[in-house]
Amino acid sequence: MHTNVIEVTFDSAHRLYEYEGKCHNVHGHTYVAILTIESNVLSGTGFVMDFGITKKWLKGWIDVYWDHATLLWDQDPLFKVMSAHTKIYSMGQEPTAENMAEALFAEAVEFLHMYGDIQVRSVGIKETPTTTAIYTL
């Protein structure tokens, strides 16, 4: 099995509406999204997948949806208030690093579907220098 790991750094805010602690307040992080893909078969040029193609997709998706956005659960009362005034990414659940990793995993699977034998092994969301949530199947 051959494995590639691609990382993209971005800045976003979020809040955990039902959490009783500091993260109930809107706050930001410099996140790192870590996409791990794998394949048993290499391309004719010896790649799992060209790093440039993978990174362009990952960075592009993050730039459109998460970079400099506020990630909110769609049931959070701030969702309606803030969406009229700022870039919001709506999540169907609390925007924890764990839920972000799962959401990005699903997006990566959809993207890689057109590339044949390449599979998503995992997606990690590094929320701080010492904490990472990882989603795998």
Question: Is 23 considered catalytic here?
Answer: yes
Residue 86: CB atoms within 10 A of its CB come to 11
Catalytic residue of the set 23, 29, 98, 102: 23
Catalytic residue of the set 7, 24, 27, 68: 68
Question: Is 29 considered catalytic here?
Answer: no
Question: Is 107 considered catalytic here?
Answer: no
Catalytic residues: 23, 68, 127
